[in-house]
Each structure stands twice: as structure tokens, then as C-alpha cells.
Chains A and B, each alone.
Chain A
Amino acid sequence: MARQIRIALRNCGVIDPERIEDYISRDGYMALATVLTELSPEAVIEILKKSGLRGRGGGGFPAGLKWEITRKVQADQKYVVCNADEGDPGAFMDRSILEGDPHAVLEAMTINGYCTGASKGLIYIRAEYPLAVERLKTAMKQSREMGLLGNNILQTGFNFDIDIRYGAGAFVCGEETALIHSMEGLRGEPTVKPPFPSVEGYLKKPTNVNNVETFANVPVIINKGWEWFASIGTEKSKGTKVFALAGKINNVGLVEVPMGTTLREVIYEIGGGIQGGKEFKAAQTGGPSGGCLTKKHLDTPIDYDNLIAAGSMMGSGGLIVMDEDDCMVAIAKFYLGFTVEESCGKCSPCRIGNKRLFELLEKITQGNGTMEDIDKLRNLSTVIKDTSLCGLGQSSPNPVLSTIENFIGEYHEHVKDKKCRSKVCKSMMQYLVVPEKCIGCTLCARNCPVNAISGERKQVHLIDQEKCIKCGACMEKCKFNAIIIN
């Protein structure tokens, strides 16, 4: 764990999140005090811009620039929104921060309010995070009582308060325009940008939307200085990133590493290597709309730009490790299944295109695919990315494109040889009896739930492929290793 640097997660597990005193004892609200008493909004924005902090929610837009744009728009009312609609399967960094260090987010939102000229903050959080909501409420109550939130904060005359808005867990509501519509009580679906929320957002007012992890970095940057923050990471990606390690890896969970750490370091040094000592095959980053990195990427420093160059993306920091037992076609299908469920249905390429992608992948994994289908996958993926309205559709074909790019051989095997080397795609598997090994004990036939196995006692048995449902019971029962998978 030595390679980790904890900035966003600095207090998680260290302090009692329900005690504001614990937070304050670790420099909590010091940044806010500095900002309100010593710095102009422009100066704070300048610090943020120089720090190089980029949005941690997926897009990687420079945070300071976003704050500056929101500040410059003239309006009678502005809003600060914290995007806590964490929707990537397996990702839980936002939840951990909110549960473990809620004050960090409140403090940063207040600083943002001071910089952008907003007096109202809203946290959009999925209702499935009851503990995080509870802790946020407790934290808001405490900070109001201590004059750190509400009217006349720290006797400086600055007013800022925060409210919570609940999401129903729709993945697309992590997209900022969809999130805003959901908060307005409208259908959670995106609209064309521009106008960007910084110019026209919640209730048509300028709205600064940042992700939980982005906010969590802000107080530390103010306290320790932009030079310190900018010294961590790579040229264009500063600071750290929290990853949620999952999949076939020994140590699953959250890790926070400097930008530029290699995949090899994350997987083998921090993650403790692949489960069961098996061989690393790929790692999916960027959640369902990311792509997979392969062995050739193991030594690539992970940052925003390198991931995009590798056909994937940072996303919110999901990192799912796959080994030799994973079929990449099935993986692509799995992720498409997710996007098909989570598309809002507004634009045709995402609504229908992803469904068709999924169907093509299903056809291939069932052994009915053709080479033409692979071409269709390619064209459809390109068009969906090119024409979709929001980030969801613009990235949903990534798993398909990146598995085709990196594992075209597996696609060809599925299509031409009707074979799945990882033995995941059951439709293509055949359970066969090895005549030389079968002694005719009848055990397999008696255990077959669909009576697909025939054969006289002491005679070689035969599996009827039409009837076989590929449950594997015969192979499991056979004491002579006489049943194999073809």
C-alpha cells in the first residue's frame, strides 16, 4: 500500500465522520476560513487553476476553469451542485467520501459558492445511499450550529446553505444536464450542450456542477498550496485518483494513487496480483462506458490522456480486472447490457443502437455470428459514438470497440470456429464423452436433469447435443474424467 497518497480519502477511516470536531482537528474548515478572510474569489480560482485539478467524475474538465466560467456569468442567483449520483457498477469512492468525510464536501461546496457567487448548494445523491445521506445531514446540522454553513459564515457576512436532492439511481442522471433536469422534477434525460450548466443550469441559472471526489480535493489544495498539489501526478493530470479495484484481483477495494501510476503497480503492488495466480488478461477502466487495457498497457502511466489514447477513459475510477477465464466478447456484452438498461431513450442511436449492439453480441456469443456481424459492430459502434446526444451514448460502444481492437482473435474464434476459449459462452460448448475413458458406469446418465445421456451399462455413453442444456452436472459427477468440454 506504500504507493498510495491519500488526498480525497485523507480522513476516511481516520476520523469519526459524525463529529465535526474530528474534522476540524485535521485542518477541517481551515481552507474555508482562509478563503473567506484572506482571499478574493479570483485568487482562489487562480489557485485551483494552477493546481491543475481536473474533474474526477469522468470528463476531466479543469475544475478551476469551470469555477471561473460560472463566476463570470451574470445572474441574480447561482447554484453549486455536488454530483453524488455514483452509478458505475462496482464504484463506490463517492459513497466512501460522503460516509467517511462529509464535511470535506460541504467545505468545498461553500468555497465554490464564495468563488462563483452562489448562495445555494445542492447535493444530488442516490437514495440508495442512506448512510451517506444520514452523515451528510448530521454534518450539515453541525456546521450550521458552528456558523460554518448558513447565514453570515464565520462572521464574514457570506451566506451559503446546502440542501439534499435525491436521485432514483439512474445511471444517466450522472450526466450533468440530466442531473439538473432530475433535480427540477423533470424526466432525467440530457439536453444538448451548449448551453453548459455553468451558463444555464438548475432553474436556468448558472450552476457549477462538480463531482464528490473533485470537491474533496479542494480544501487540501487551499491548505497545502497549488504547488504541492501540482507536484503530484503527470504533466496534464495532477494529484491523485481514487480507483475502485474489483474483479479477479486479490485486494479489492478503494485505492488512491498519484496520477501516472502504472497499471502494473496498481494491480500487482497494491492489488496483490491476480487471484489464484492466474494470468492477467485485461482491466476495464471507466466503468461500463470505458474500454479495456491489456498486457501491453501494463506499464503505461494512468492519467486522463493516456487512457483516452488507449481507447478507454478515466471515468469515475472503476477498475475491474479480468483474467484468462474471462471471455472478452461476453464482457463486452455484459457492459452493453448495462447501457441498454440505463439509456434514457431520448436519442435514437443510444436507444436503438445499443440494443442492436447487444443483440449482435448475443448472436456472436451464442455461436450464430458471422464475419459481417463484426463489421456491423464496428460501424454501429462508430456511429453511436459519433451521433449520440450525451456522454452515455458517446462512450457506451467503447467496450465493444476496445475488445475488438485488442481481442479480435476471440471474436474470430466465436464466429468462425464457434469456440469460446474461456469457456464462458455456454451455447457454443459441447460436453462430450471420451470413449476411451468411459467405463459405462451410468452415473452421468442418472444425474442428467434432462435425460440427454444414453448408453447401456458397461457401454460407452453418448450425450445428445440437442437435448443437453450445458449444466455441467455430468462432468462434475464423472469419476473417470471421461467427460470433456469441446
Chain B
Amino acid sequence: MKTIKLIIDGKTAEVPENTTLLKAAKTVGIDIPTLCYFELKDMNIENRPGGCRVCVVEVKGRRNLAPACNTMVAEGMEVYTHNIRVLNARRTVLELILSDHPAECLTCAKSGSCELQSMAQQLGVREIPYQGEQSKYRKDTSPAIIRDVDKCIMCRRCEMMCNDVQTVGALNAVNRGFMAVVAPAFEMNLEKSPCTYCGQCVSVCPTGALTEVDHSRNVINALADPAKTVVVQTAPAVRAALGEEFGLAPGTLVTGKMVAALRRLGFDYVFDTDFAADLTIMEEGTELLDRLTRYLKGDKDVKLPILTSCCPGWVNFFEHNFPEMREIPSTAKSPQQMFGPIAKEYFAKKLGINRKNMIVVSIMPCLAKKYECQRDEFKVDGDPDVNFSLSTRELAHLIKASNIDFSSLPEDDFDNPLGESTGASVIFGTTGGVIEAACRTAYELYTGKKLEKVDFKELRGLENVRHATIDFDGLPINIGIAHGLGNARKLLEDIRDGKSQFHAIEIMACPGGCIGGGGQPYHHGDSEVIKLRASALYREDAGKPIRKSHENPFILELYKDFLGKPCGEKSHHLLHTHYFDKSAGVFVEE
């Protein structure tokens, strides 16, 4: 590739052609501020509409200032990133943005993580000289996400995520000029749109325009109610990210401290969604083997490939976009929703309490889980199997608000029986993990042999769509993996067109899987954070004494004691679900 030589603030930079001024400047130690620009490196995710104009620089010979994020280097270019013209323009542009932004920092959910706030800080804005009318929009609250678009700065990151990455198409720029804003079509409520609640818009929003619905108040009330037994379950990806909220390095595992914190918050039982993940593998793995065996026997009606169903954003996606294919995914509920009925139908009975007096709280890296636990089919006489789902961020706030010094907490263990888990369940939190866990179990159940090499490295990584063939003792099993709904769409279209060669496909709605979920601490576009979280989970897996779901002693006991056998009658009733055609659910009012 051709190398381009240019001068930035008097320093000579040599970079490959087609490099942006922004990246070229970084190579010579110049950090040009950006606001709308967003990149998740190595994950093919980039937003550079050139809209905010905060990153403008002077290019000698050009009439106007140029956006560094969107201007390519050229041989001999002379660039100035902080002369008086640039500094004045940058500051004025920021003052303009702030002049149309509610100054609600004290009570804003995003305060402390807001990129607009830190930019105002960085540029030392102390007053806003250009005062005037501020845009006013209706606040939109959905089951999982709140849109407070008075705070929208039109960076279009959410739009890029929703359209280009997720191909959901719920959010788009509407209106013109001063009234322009990102919203669902016809400014409908998000609930009426094809939104999957994956929360990727929330995870990239630089301000408080998109945030999660906060359920921590409901949890505090439940904890304070002496009549309630409050049980908590924690998803695998949470332990790999929660520490970031307390200043720990990304990738720090805080499983023990998290358990200790939850216990101090007053939960009666601190359980693990990982336990339910092992259960998921038992059910889903059995279902896979059943379909596979029937297929190999020549049954033409059997639906293959089987698709994982543990990701609620993904479930929403195919219910909206591919309802005609809703027989293909596994009927196994997600771990969160398997945990619910086990807690309320099995554990509550063991304790001798009515299910209505048990409150199940889940801590999730996810916002779609908030919607999932509110689904009607996951309720018994109006009582939800899982009452409230909190995001990793909400848990962090709860801990901080409860005067708990996180870093000095001891390492506690989960309660039993629903707290014991295997390494297989831990890696559910990263893309490829579910299918790897399923392979560990399915291999042994299918072949009857002991799996020597537990790590399926070929299933790991961050490429958008991956595939691998696993040798089941002479039977080649073709596995597909997609993370991000846009990638999932490609695999689904292949299946629809009869082009898919896979036996089983794992799909996660969020880029990176749950570790990159919409409820996780903000990564601010640093893909290293996501990678470190993934390696933390693989580390935890490697350190576990038991690494296959079907060897979890408490799972075996649960089947013996209560469920019978995987995909048996009781399991079918409690642990499996069915899907709906929601394509007609999206409509235009009036």
C-alpha cells in the first residue's frame, strides 16, 4: 500500500493512503476531539457522518475547515489542528450543541459517562453565549429503553447501529433543520416499531438521549418487604464487566465480590444464571441431538439447522423479520427464563413458600431481558417467573447507593442449589460460547465417549460470521456463528433460500455477544474492552473444575429430583416456549 507523507501541526506523519486525518494525527501524538465519530475496531463498526463538526481542522489551501474524521490524507498536506481559527470554530460548534441541550447533568442518567459532558469539560466551556430556543420532544418509554431525545445531538450513532449493524431499522433521522432528530418512523413510540430492545443504540449514545428503563427502585422495594423472599441470578457476562464501574481494569473478574455485594444488598439467595445456562445446554443439546438423529435417519420434516434461542434480542428479531421461520430455533427458553420457573416452581416449593411471595431478580448485561421477563407467556396467573431484570450498570449504581465499598469486599460463593455452574455455562457470555458449551455436551451424549479436548478454539473469535466443522467421532457437524443482528440476517436469508449448510447456528444480537450487551458498562468505542471481557470469561471457564454442563451435579440432581429427563414432559412445560409472528405488530397509528 502507498505511504502518504503529510505535516500535522508541524510534525511529519507517514501513514498508508486512505487513512483519515484523525487517525494520521494519532500516529504523531495528536488527539483531535470527536463527538459523532465512533469506531469499534476489528468489528467492522464505524460511524463517521461528519455531522458534529467538532473534529474540524485547517488544511492549507482548502477554503473551509475539514472534518478530521472524514477527510483522507493526501501527499504533502499541511494540517493545523489547534490554531486560532480551528480552536474558535471547535469551541463555537460545541457551544452551539450545548445551547440546544438541556443542562440537566445533575439528574441525568448518563452523568459521569456522557461524552458531551466530558467534551465541555475538556474544552473548558464555562458559559454558553448562544442561548435560544431548545428543541422539545415527547419522552418515549418502552419496556426496556427510554428515549429522551431533547438530549439527542444528532450524532447518528444509534441510527448506524440500528440500521447498518443490526439491520433492525427502528431508528432513523426524521424532520429537518432544527427539528431534526433520530426517532422511529412517524415519530411513533419505540414499542410500536420493529425495535428488538438489543440496546446497542443505548450502548453507543454519547449523551442521555437513550438510556435503559431503571428498575432498581422496584428491587429496593422488594428487598425492603419482609413478606418477600428475594432471589437474584447473575448472567455470565456481568462478572467480566461489573468491575469497570468501580475503576477496575477491563477484563477483571469480580465474581466473588459481586456475590458478596448482592448478599449485602439483602438478597435472600444469590444464585447464578450460569446454573440455568447448564440447564439450557441439557435441553437445547438434547433437542439438537434429537433433530440430528431424526435427520440422519431420513426424516425430511426435521428442521435443521437448529438455532440457539437464549438471546431475547435475537428472538424479537426473528419474530419481527422472519416469522415464517419461527419453527427453526430451539424451543428452549433463555437461561434467565429457565431460572425463573425453577426458582418459583421448584426452589420455592422446597422452601415451602408461595411463588407469589418469591421475587426473582436477574442481573443482566442486556436490555432485551427487561422486555423478555415481561412477556405474557412467562407469567403464571399474572405473576412473572422473573420479576425484574437489572442491567450491569443498574447493579453498579445500586451497590454505590448502598454504601458498599466494592473493592474491599471479600470473595463470596454463590448459594446452592441454583448457584453451582460449570465452565461451559460461563462462556455463554461471549459469542461462540453457547455453541461451544453445547458441543461439549452433545459430543459426549452422541458418541458416548469422553471429550478429551474441551476447548473448541475454532469457535472463538470476533469475526462477524464464523463457521467450523466439529468432528463428532466421524460425523462432521457444521456450526455457524453470528453476532450482531445484521450478520444473523445473512445466515437466516441463506436458510430461507435453502443455501445453508449448517446443522446448528449460534446467534447473539449484540456485537461480541453478551459481553458487548446493551446493559454493560459503556465501552465508548474501545473494542479492546470487549476482547478483555471475553478473555476473562474463557479464563474463568479454564479454571473451573467441571467444564461440561451435563456433569453439573446439581443439574443432575434437579433432573432426578424434579424434572425427569431433558426435553421430557416437565421440562417441556417449564423450560420450553414457542414464538410469535410479530411482523404485523408493527403498524402505523391513524
Q: Which residues of A contact B (CB under 8 A)?
A: 170, 172, 187, 189, 191-192, 194, 340-349, 351-356, 359, 376, 379-380, 383, 385-389, 394
Taken together as a complex, chains A and B put the C-alpha atoms of A191 and B70 apart, in Å, by: 10
Q: Shortest CB–CB separation between residue B129 and chain A, in angstroms?
A: 7
Question: B67 contacts which of A192, A351, A380 (Cβ < 8 Å)?
Answer: A192
A-B contact pairs, 22 of them (CB 8 A): A172-B176, A192-B50, A342-B177, A344-B176, A346-B51, A347-B50, A348-B53, A348-B93, A348-B97, A353-B92, A356-B96, A356-B99, A359-B132, A359-B133, A376-B130, A379-B92, A380-B92, A383-B88, A386-B65, A386-B89, A389-B53, A389-B67
Taken together as a complex, chains A and B put the C-alpha atoms of A394 and B173 apart, in Å, by: 22
Chain A residues within 8 Å of B283, by CB = none
In this assembly, does B357 line the interface, its C-beta being within 8 Å of a C-beta of chain A? no
Flag if A387 contacts B178 (CB, 8 Å): no
Q: How many residues of B contact A (CB 8 A)?
A: 37
Taken together as a complex, chains A and B put the C-alpha atoms of A172 and B176 apart, in Å, by: 10
Chain A residues within 8 Å of B172, by CB = 187
Q: Shortest CB–CB separation between residue B269 and chain A, in angstroms?
A: 51
Chain B residues within 8 Å of A388, by CB = 53, 64
Most B-side CB within 10 Å, residue of A340, A348, A359, A379: A348
Most B-side CB within 10 Å, residue of A172, A354, A356: A356
Chain A residues within 8 Å of B154, by CB = 345-346, 348, 351
Chain B residues within 8 Å of A189, by CB = 173
In this assembly, does B354 line the interface, its C-beta being within 8 Å of a C-beta of chain A? no
Chain A residues within 8 Å of B64, by CB = 385-388, 394
Q: Shortest CB–CB separation between residue B318 and chain A, in angstroms?
A: 25
Encode B76-93 as 1/0 by CB contact (under 8 A) with A. 000000000100110011
Question: B177 contacts which of A187, A343, A379, A387 (Cβ < 8 Å)?
Answer: A343
Chain B residues within 8 Å of A343, by CB = 176-178, 180
Q: Shortest CB–CB separation between residue B251 and chain A, in angstroms?
A: 36
The A contact surface, by secondary structure, is: helix
Q: Shortest CB–CB separation between residue B130 and chain A, in angstroms?
A: 4
Flag if A387 contacts B56 (CB, 8 Å): yes
Q: Shortest CB–CB separation between residue A60 and chain B, in angstroms?
A: 13
In this assembly, does B71 line the interface, its C-beta being within 8 Å of a C-beta of chain A? yes
Question: B50 contacts which of A191, A345, A359 (Cβ < 8 Å)?
Answer: A191
Chain A residues within 8 Å of B71, by CB = 192
Q: Shortest CB–CB separation between residue A229 and chain B, in angstroms?
A: 28
Chain A residues within 8 Å of B88, by CB = 379, 383
Chain B residues within 8 Å of A191, by CB = 49-50
In this assembly, does B218 line the interface, its C-beta being within 8 Å of a C-beta of chain A? no
A344 (CB) vs chain B CBs: closest residue: B176
Chain B residues within 8 Å of A345, by CB = 154, 173, 175-181
For the complex of A and B, the 4 pairs showing the least CB-CB separation, nearest first, are: A345-B180, A343-B177, A352-B96, A192-B50
Flag if A351 contacts B50 (CB, 8 Å): no
Taken together as a complex, chains A and B put the C-alpha atoms of A314 and B555 apart, in Å, by: 79
Flag if B177 contacts A348 (CB, 8 Å): no
Flag if A170 contacts B53 (CB, 8 Å): no
Q: Shortest CB–CB separation between residue A280 and chain B, in angstroms?
A: 31
Taken together as a complex, chains A and B put the C-alpha atoms of A383 and B173 apart, in Å, by: 25
Chain B residues within 8 Å of A344, by CB = 176-177, 180
Encode B96-133 as 1/0 by CB contact (under 8 A) with A. 11011000000000000000000000000000011011
Flag if A347 contacts B53 (CB, 8 Å): yes
